[in-house]
Every structure is written in structure tokens, then in C-alpha cells.
Amino acid sequence: MRVIVIGGGVVGTMHAWQAVERGHEVVQIEREAEARGASLRNFGQIWVSGRAGGAELDTALRARELWERIGERVPGLGFRAIGSLTPVRNAREYAVAEAAVARPDAAARGYKLVTAAEAREINPALRGAFEAALWCERDAAVEPRTAQLHLREALRASGRYTFLPGREVREVTGPGAVRDDHGDVHRGDVVVLATGAWLSGLVRELAPELPVRRVRLQMMQTEPLGEPLTTSVADADSFRYYPAYQSAALDALNAEQAQAPVAAAHKMQLLMVQRRDGGLTIGDTHEYEHPFAFDTLEEPYDHLTEVVESFLGRPLPKIRHRWAGVYAQCTDTTRVVHREQVRDGVWLVTGPGGRGMTCSPAIAETTANELGW
């Protein structure tokens, strides 16, 4: 079988991986010289802890297993089974963590409620003030800015993979066939459109009523911390954002403990991961109303800096990068992905909604299974 993958981000690359693993030939086409969207502008978290139960959690756990397997074969991914800690500071936040640990699927997530002293044994960099922490053993991390590069190197070694950058696909010319803006036609047995948040142009033509929206976020990265941050770190605002934490205790937290005004205005939470170079990737905000602003705002960065410094008990290293990114999210946020046949032999896979880095290996595996690769 010959598979044409449109899109060089992590979802597209994992579809290419699945096809090559199953013995097929793959041509992957990317409109930029390299992918530049949400697949690079993220934390690199394999984030199991906050996922909704049922299909979403099953997808995340399967993806976590696949990431680890692929990481063993592709060391450049920088796969690290680091887990995560969410420090809590008062009785209301503690109650939400306690409710999470009482979930029927808590063991599958690797949840454990630990004391502040135990949290500092797990992650000695957390010298700030907090009362306890929610530990999630199943969370992990990879290097988002270089993951696609290393995956493509491994794919090329198969002898059945071709990467064509700098080409935008403009037209479906027939079953399993597309034409790019160089005038070249690429024919295969199946085409997978994995174009991320690029939902205009050909995608809009093929799926004009697409049940997917775009979401903008702001993030930053620091100079090296100078010591290991041995886990990823979240704050209690992440309880408000992720479906795994829904409970009566969360309802009480939302009713009785308001977010900081800046966090509420920008729909914020703290997520933080250390990169292999020692720098910290920190975020994030959420903007849903179009048209998106073209600039980044300082107030969210100030808020994140304050929260991080309170957990670390020390000043944050100099900020090296700030950026905004956009990802695609199903309007029904309980859906992990939107997968639709848009023409004969052409499938659109989009809308993981901030779950792309976490779930992409399992999303691609499901596509391959459903299409009978």
C-alpha cells in the first residue's frame, strides 16, 4: 500500500510511522520547510493525569505505551518517564486532589496524594510553600521542537519513506490522489490530511461544516534552571481545566476560591516541563474568540512567573523565548479527534484539542486499524 500523509506535525508523522511500521510506502508532504505549528509550540508532555475517563483515558494510556516503545528505538525523542506533581496549598485544593485519588481509574493514572516533604523527595527543586501534592506516575515528556526531525530520520532508514517539504496540497484529483502547488500529482491508496490548525483552503473545501474550532495559547521558555526539575509541574488551576478532576470538591473550589484575575481573564493554568538543555517550558493561556490577537500580552507571563517562583522558592531564570500557538479542537470537547472520510480514499484527521502531542501515536494507530492498513 502507498499512503500519502499531508502535514508534517506530530499527528501526521505518527500516521506515517504507523504506515511504515505496517510495511507500507509513505510520502509525507508539508507546506513549510518544517512543521511550525502546535506540534512544536507545546510542552512536550505526554499528559495522562488530566484526561477524561473512558475513551480519552484509554487513548492517552495507549499513546503513553507507544511513546515509550518508540522512544526506545528513537533516543533523539528524549522520552522521559518523569511523572507530574500538582502542588496544593489549602484545604479546598487538597479536597480536589483527594477526590481525584478516589476515582475508580486512579490506579491506571498512577495517582497518589503525597505530603509536601514526599513531593520534595520526588522533585527537590520544589522548595516553595505548599501543603501537599497530587503525584501522577504515568505522565512523561519528549522534546517537542525536535521530535519530528528524529522520527523522520528513523522513517527514512526504512527505505519506504519520502518527505516533501515546501509544498502545499491544493486539490484532490481522484481517489487517493492530490495535486500540490508545484503542479505534481501524488497518487496512493489512501490520503490522510493531518493539517493541524490549518483548516482553510483545501480543508474547508472538503469539509465546510467541520465541527472543529481553533484555540490560541501563549507560552514561554527560560534559560537553564541550573538544577534538575525531575517532574513536570502543574498548579491547582489545572484542576479547573482538565476533566479528570471534575467532582463535588471541584465545584466547591470554583464556588469558593476565585482564580487570580489575570488567570481567569486568560483562562490560565500552570504547566511546566524542563527541556533537556535545562530550560523550563512554561504556560499557558487559552483564547477561543476569533479573530485572534496578533500580539502577546505580558500580564499572563507575569502571573506564570509569580506562580512558578512560589513553587520553586527562587527567582525564575531569564526568559529566553515567548510565543503564541494555535491548535485545533473538536467543538465537542469530549471527542479525542475528528476523523472523517472527505473524498474517496481521502481522510481528514484533526481536532485533538491540545491532546495531539499526548495522544498522536494512539490516534494514528486507530486510523490505521479502521482503514485496514
Specify the pLDDT at position 247: 97
Specify the pLDDT at position 38: 81
For residues 20 and 32, is the Cβ–Cβ distance under 8 A?
no
User: ∠ at Cα 348 (346, 352), nearest 5°?
Assistant: 160
Q: Which stretches of the chain drop beneath a pLDDT of 70?
A: none
Specify the pLDDT at position 37: 85
- Residue 15's nearest CA partner among 300, 360, 371, 372 is 360
**Separation in Å, CA 338 to CA 14, 103, 212, 225:** 16, 28, 8, 38
- What pLDDT digit, counting tens, does each position of 106-165 carry? 999 999 999 999 999 999 999 999 999 999 999 999 999 999 999 999 999 999 999 999
Edge-first strand order for the sheet with 280-283 is: 111-115, 132-136, 84-88, 232-234, 271-274, 280-283, 212-222, 319-330
Q: Which residues are CB-contacts of 306 (< 8 A; sequence separation ≥ 6)?
A: none
| DSSP state for residue 158 in the 8-state scheme | T
pTM: 0.96
Q: At what angle do helices 356-371 and 10-21 cross, to 10 degrees?
A: 40
